[in-house]
Amino acid sequence: MWSLHTPVGTVTLNRAVLLVLFVIALLWPVIGVGDFLLFLGALFLAFGLYGASFDLLYGYTGLLSFGHSVFFGVGAYAATFALMDYGQGAFVGLLVAFLATILIAVGLGLIAVRVKSHGFVIVTILIALIAQRLAETYSGITGGTDGIIVSVPDIWIPLLGEYSVFDPTFRYYFTLGVVLVSLFLMYRLVISPVGLVFRMIRENEQRARMLGYNVTAYKLIAFVASGAFAGIAGALATYINGFINASRFSLIVAGDPVIYTMLGGRSTIVGAVIGAVLIEGAGNYVSQVTDAYQLIVGLLLLVMVVVEPEGLIGLWNRLQRRVKRRVRDSTPTPEVTTDD
Amino acid sequence: MLSVDSIDTYYGQSHILHDVSFEAGTNEVVALLGRNGAGKTTTMRSVMGLTPPRTGTIRFDGTDITGDAPSSIANRGIGYVPQDRRMFPEMTVEENLRMGLGKAPFDPDRMERLFERFPRVGERLDQRAGTLSGGEQQMVAMARALMRDPQLLLLDEPTEGLMPSLIPEIAEITQAIATAGYTIVIVEQNVDLVLDIADRIYLLQNGRIGETVTPEALEQNDAILEEYLGV
Amino acid sequence: MTETVLETVGLTKEFDGFVAVNDVDLELTQGEFRGLIGPNGAGKTTVFNLISGLAEPSSGSVRFNGKEITGLDPHEITSRGMALSFQITSIFPELTVRENVLGALHSGEALSNLLSRYGTDETKLDRVDGLLAQVDLDVHVEKQAGELSHGDRKVLELALALANDPDLLLLDEPTAGLSASETDTIKRLLAELRGTVTIILIEHDVDLVMELVERITVLHNGQVLAEGTPDQIQADERVRKIYFRRDH
Amino acid sequence: MPTGEQILIAVLNGVTWGLIIALIALGLNLIFGLLKVVNLAHGSLYMLGAVGGWFVIGATGSFLVAAVVAPLAVGFLGMVIERVALRPIEEDIPTTLIATFALLIVLDQIGLLVFGPGTRSVSAPIQGSVTLAGITYPLYRLSVAVVSLGLMGALYLFLHRTRYGMWMRGVRQDLEMASALGIPRSQVYVVTFGLGAGLAALAGVLLSPIVGVNHLMGLDILAVAFIVVIVGGLGSLKGVLVASLVYALVENIGTLYITTVDARVLTLSLMIAFVIVRPDGLFEEGLG
């Protein structure tokens, strides 16, 4: 038996830590947190999925997208319209969000992946900015900044019966279920041969092309898959909030998954979820204390980008390695910076 | 003037120069000879600070310049004529010349005097450098390096890639500069030109200095020519 | 019967009025080992780019395995059985050595295996590990490619090119920047390949080419100056002259 | 059908807005052309200019002083940003981009902290209007257009007639060769970023009497600036000017025939269509 050196990306999280996080997520409603924390838990999981979908594109394929808000927003609105205008259920809403974002992603992807190297990110910014303007302009459809109140019909779960999304515990588990399934699917994608091609593109696009891969097609696949999961995240967030408005399309929202991923650690899928929970969770408390929370987040991101680009998971691994080395060597080692 | 003391230079992980040492005294012309890939251009780039050596020291005029930024090395008075000429293609010839000054002040008289040596450059001051022929670009590159009246001139393959008919002209200019009293380090494939102007020749092979010879000795020694240059 | 693997007819490339490659005809038969030499600026790398589709010829055509490939995208050309090894090592630094070769081997069929986990197909793994053993990289399989020495990277570069059993191997200076012992390793690998695959070896190191190949094409100023066996080329006065530029 | 007067006003509005957009976008493109930094914080620097100007006007009562002090201060801030935040990660476009996004958040929040929410108005230093071919037009708008045009001309002269401008063009064309000839590239980078930031801030001050001052005004202008930069061609100053004028003219003339909403969508669609057809923009290369 052999193992791949890096089953997922370049930095990985210890299985034990992952298990602990999973158990916490699973038991969150059981340990007696109040309704508000259940609401926040569900919302942050949806944000985490949004971050993870971005990581699929940036962390694995190396394509930095500043236009993910478009998928988040399109998913949210597609689900909203399915529910409000066509009287569909929550699952159909998710499916509609998934399919609508795929459609949009194929269209936008055909523009974005054709552009050379750094052109990609610039086109995605352009897409985000244009979407923002369109969403504000068509306030009749999007509800503008005032938004639309979304009422989600009761959800029927096979074998278990009908539940209301206003039940905080149900809402939490519903979100957790959708997020876990989505994360699992993304994980399967990145460990499939296609995922290997994604990483080859990230590492050396030209070489991947010269080995016979249609790099443009693979980039499009990554873009569309990533967008589709962002769309699901957008729909979930809307179900949880029961509200949607045009600011879903703002550039700031486009930057959110970037922050989650950079903080949590890229090329890990789960890092973005951790990042989202930490940032949004801390924000929820700190913003009650100080108005300057966004300022702190911005500064944190800046420091992260300039000093520790591998994120918290990278920092954790680095600390772990250092501790192990100390234990092994017994003599204290001088300050060593590992260069990976 | 220039003293390079056992430098080792890498491109990424690739170890290009091994323990290379050589010197150029004031008003001396020294040449680096060797086959393609022997490390001549890398040596020049190491001196300029473009690919700084990992170990070893480079002294210019008694000062240690190892690891300095290329711009501060150039502003100490080193003129650099790179391989492939490296014009600023969208600038005019005059602007290309002025770029050669770095932080040094502009001296119109000096530029006029340069045109005596490079008349074709003076005729094309307003032309965009990208539209010049290879030979003309080479002349601009040389004039550009001379704008600041350098204490040391680094010439990397001045006749390379030129049309055969142009080579004698460039060779002649190179000879004229050499006899004008500049301290020069030259890399050149044209063995005859080097034999004519160099005071001393360093032979490179696989990134190492193999031998140091005088032009006279090299001319007589076919074995060395065969070994280092494959002639 | 020997079949023609690669044929170029009147291959020409102009850049802004400068003719980098001028009317080059090449013909390679099955299993041939061809050297392509010439001084700096002779157009060797441009020929490499024109054959592999990295650049499009201004005129002329390239036929590969009997089919016209002029103007196709590089990935279409390489997926037809041409493999390339670059002068500047081009590998996937953060993937392991095994993943590098696995990725090269997957070429084209990754999409049909969307539901599988890469690296679980035993036949593929055996082939990857066999290839890595053949090039003496088997001790490094789990290492990140970026951690390899420069010489081993060049070997990996070669292994990437060999992964898909190519019909034609296009090598651009596989020994550039290598030490003498590293060069020997590559030389040995190339000697082992002789006859099993059609190879074009682009090199500035004339001695290396003379030792390895059956036929040599000499380029000068973008044109074919001479073609023949190593002995014929060595004896050719014109070749001596352009290479060494000594007039007396 | 719109009258000739209406068309004339629409054209005037289009040209004025086009010139102002161009002034903001020029700094963005100058920075991209030289440093290869896609500066998402550019709009925030523009906002800081307006906010800073508002404070200076409040303190001194002089618009002119504000138009000098605020751009200088923001320009200096730009230099610090380049040196501290961008220098360590330069040459990695995605990373610098994320860093400038972080800066966008930081600067916008600073704007909020010092200025507070809501929009405040600034009175124009030049009052009154002019009558041109039978129509009246606010004099200040016209002046801003003229000043924008003058600043662009000055920038052109700076790039082509001064030593520093020449260095900037040289660094852009061949960074390595420029350094090897003695051009101090880190200094050139710092000055370029400072210049771009200062131009954005100046635009902020100039525009504040027309659009008011608001801590979120940067995000609004960023969209337009980016669109014209991409349509005009990354790094091309000429392209930015042309794209800005076309953008503003189409939108303004469009409103005569269709609703404002539709005109805006039409303009955006045209720009998108253009990017699809020519992803590299109007002019691909060339600083100046």
Question: Of D110, D271, D280, which has the smallest distance from its Cβ to A295's Cβ?
Answer: D110
- Put simply, whether A197 touches C (Cβ < 8 Å) is yes
Task: Tell me which chain D residues have a C-beta less than 8 angstroms from the C-beta of B68.
Answer: none
The percentage of residues in chain A with a pLDDT greater than 90, rounded to a whole number, is 45
Please, which chains are in contact with A (at least 3 CB pairs closer than 8 A)? C, D
Pick the residue of C18, C40, C148, C242 with the most B CBs within 10 A to test the interface with B by mutation: C40
**D170-201 confidence digits (pLDDT tens):** 999 999 999 999 999 999 999 999 999 999 99
Cβ distance of C74 and A191 shorter than 8 Å: no
With touching defined as 3+ CB pairs under 8 A, do chains A and B touch?
Answer: no
Could you tell me if residue D2 is inside a domain? no
**A61-115 confidence digits (pLDDT tens):** 999 999 999 999 999 999 999 999 998 999 999 999 999 999 999 999 988 888 7
Q: Is residue B202 a contact partner of residue B32, using CB atoms and an 8 Å limit? A: yes
pTM: 0.85
What separation, in Å, do the N-terminal and C-terminal C-alpha atoms of chain D show?
Answer: 40
Q: Is residue C63 a contact partner of residue C14, using CB atoms and an 8 Å limit? A: no
Predicted local confidence at residue A329, as pLDDT? 60
Kind and range of the H or E run holding B57 = strand B55-60
Could you tell me if residue B32 is inside a domain? yes
Residue numbers of the domain that contains B31: 2-91+150-229
Q: Is residue B1 a contact partner of residue B61, using CB atoms and an 8 Å limit? A: yes
Q: Which residue of D has its CA nearest to B105?
A: D163
Q: How confident is the model at residue A332 (pLDDT cuts 50, 70, 90)?
A: very low
Predicted local confidence at residue D259, as pLDDT? 85
Task: Tell me which chain D residues have a C-beta less than 8 angstroms from the C-beta of A58.
Answer: 94
Total domains in the fold of chain D: 1
What CATH number should be reported for the domain holding residue A83? 1.10.3470
Predicted local confidence at residue B63, as pLDDT? 94
**A265-311 confidence digits (pLDDT tens):** 888 888 899 999 988 888 887 776 666 788 888 888 888 888 776 77
Task: For residues C143 and C137, give the distance between their C-alpha atoms in angstroms, rounded to a whole number.
Answer: 10
Task: For residues A107 and A110, give the distance between their C-alpha atoms in angstroms, rounded to a whole number.
Answer: 5
Could you tell me if residue D12 is inside a domain? no
Could you tell me if residue B162 is inside a domain? yes
Q: Which residue of C has its CA nearest to B195?
A: C246
- pLDDT greater at residue A25 or residue A103: A103
What integer is the mean pLDDT of A44-56?
A: 96
Predicted local confidence at residue C107, as pLDDT? 64
Cβ distance of A301 and D36 shorter than 8 Å: no
Task: For residues A187 and A173, give the distance between their C-alpha atoms in angstroms, rounded to a whole number.
Answer: 20
Pick the residue of D44, D86, D104, D106 with the most A CBs within 10 A to test the interface with A by mutation: D106
Which tokens hold the place of D2? 């719109």
Question: Of D38, D112, D279, which has the smallest distance from its Cβ to A115's Cβ?
Answer: D279
- pLDDT greater at residue A95 or residue C2: A95
Neighbour tally for C16: CB within 10 Å: 6
Predicted local confidence at residue A5, as pLDDT? 35
Question: Of D166, D177, D182, which has the smallest distance from its Cβ to B103's Cβ?
Answer: D182
Question: Of C92, C115, C143, which has the smallest distance from its Cβ to A192's Cβ?
Answer: C115
**C14-39 confidence digits (pLDDT tens):** 887 678 899 999 999 999 999 999 87
Under CATH, domain C1-81+166-248 is a member of which superfamily?
P-loop containing nucleotide triphosphate hydrolases (3.40.50.300)
Predicted local confidence at residue C98, as pLDDT? 92
Which tokens hold the place of D219? 């995000």
Task: For residues A270 and A21, give the distance between their C-alpha atoms in angstroms, rounded to a whole number.
Answer: 10
- Put simply, whether A106 touches D (Cβ < 8 Å) is no
- Put simply, whether A115 touches D (Cβ < 8 Å) is yes
Residue numbers of the domain that contains A83: 2-328
The count of residues in chain D is 288
- pLDDT greater at residue C174 or residue D180: D180
- Listed in order, strand segments (DSSP E) in chain A are 148-149, 155-157, 161-163, 243-244
Pick the residue of D181, D183, D189, D283 with the most B CBs within 10 A to test the interface with B by mutation: D181
Domain ranges of chain C: 1-81+166-248, 95-165
Could you tell me if residue B157 is inside a domain? yes
Cβ distance of A194 and C110 shorter than 8 Å: yes
Average pLDDT, chain A: 85
Nearest to D20 by CA among D159, D140, D149, D121: D149
Q: How confident is the model at residue B97 (pLDDT cuts 50, 70, 90)?
A: very high
What integer is the mean pLDDT of A26-49?
A: 90
CA torsion sign, C143 to C145 to C147 to C150? positive
Task: Please check the confidence at residue A11 and state whether its pLDDT lies above 70.
Answer: no
Total domains in the fold of chain A: 1
Task: Please check the confidence at residue D113 and state whether its pLDDT lies above 80.
Answer: yes
Predicted local confidence at residue A8, as pLDDT? 37
Backbone angles phi, psi at A13, to 5 degrees: -100, 135
Task: Tell me which chain A residues have a C-beta less than 8 angstroms from the C-beta of C94.
Answer: 6, 10, 199, 203
What integer is the mean pLDDT of C137-158?
A: 88
What integer is the mean pLDDT of B192-221?
A: 89
Task: Tell me which chain C residues have a C-beta less than 8 angstroms from the C-beta of B206.
Answer: 179-180
Average pLDDT, chain D: 90
- Listed in order, strand segments (DSSP E) in C3-124 are 4-15, 18-29, 33-37, 59-64, 67-68, 82-85
Q: Is residue D229 a contact partner of residue D29, using CB atoms and an 8 Å limit? A: yes
Question: Of C177, C244, C248, which has the smallest distance from its Cβ to B230's Cβ?
Answer: C244
Residue numbers of the domain that contains D114: 20-218
- Put simply, whether D286 touches B (Cβ < 8 Å) is yes
Task: Please check the confidence at residue C61 and state whether its pLDDT lies above 90.
Answer: yes
Task: Tell me which chain D residues have a C-beta less than 8 angstroms from the C-beta of A121.
Answer: 38, 93-94, 97
Which tokens hold the place of B6? 């056992």
Task: Tell me which chain C residues have a C-beta less than 8 angstroms from the C-beta of A186.
Answer: none
Task: Please check the confidence at residue C1 and state whether its pLDDT lies above 80.
Answer: no
Predicted local confidence at residue D267, as pLDDT? 86
**D16-71 confidence digits (pLDDT tens):** 999 999 999 999 999 988 888 889 999 999 999 999 999 999 999 999 999 999 99
Q: Is residue C192 a contact partner of residue C222, using CB atoms and an 8 Å limit? A: no
Task: Tell me which chain D residues have a C-beta less than 8 angstroms from the C-beta of B49.
Answer: 180
Cβ distance of D109 and A295 shorter than 8 Å: yes
Question: Of A118, A125, A255, which has the smallest distance from its Cβ to D226's Cβ?
Answer: A125
Cβ distance of A193 and C115 shorter than 8 Å: no
Nearest to D229 by CA among A129, A51, B40: A129
Could you tell me if residue A338 is inside a domain? no
Predicted local confidence at residue D45, as pLDDT? 97
Task: Please check the confidence at residue B134 and state whether its pLDDT lies above 50.
Answer: yes
Between the CA of residue A4 and those of A106, B48, B69, C142, what are the distances in Å? 32, 44, 42, 7
Cβ distance of D180 and B148 shorter than 8 Å: no
What CATH number should be reported for the domain holding residue B208? 3.40.50.300
Task: Please check the confidence at residue D118 and state whether its pLDDT lies above 80.
Answer: yes
Predicted local confidence at residue A331, as pLDDT? 46
Could you tell me if residue A337 is inside a domain? no
Kind and range of the H or E run holding D130 = strand D129-132
What integer is the mean pLDDT of A121-126?
A: 85
Backbone angles phi, psi at B56, to 5 degrees: 95, 170
**B155-166 confidence digits (pLDDT tens):** 999 888 777 778
Q: Across-strand partners of C67? A: C64
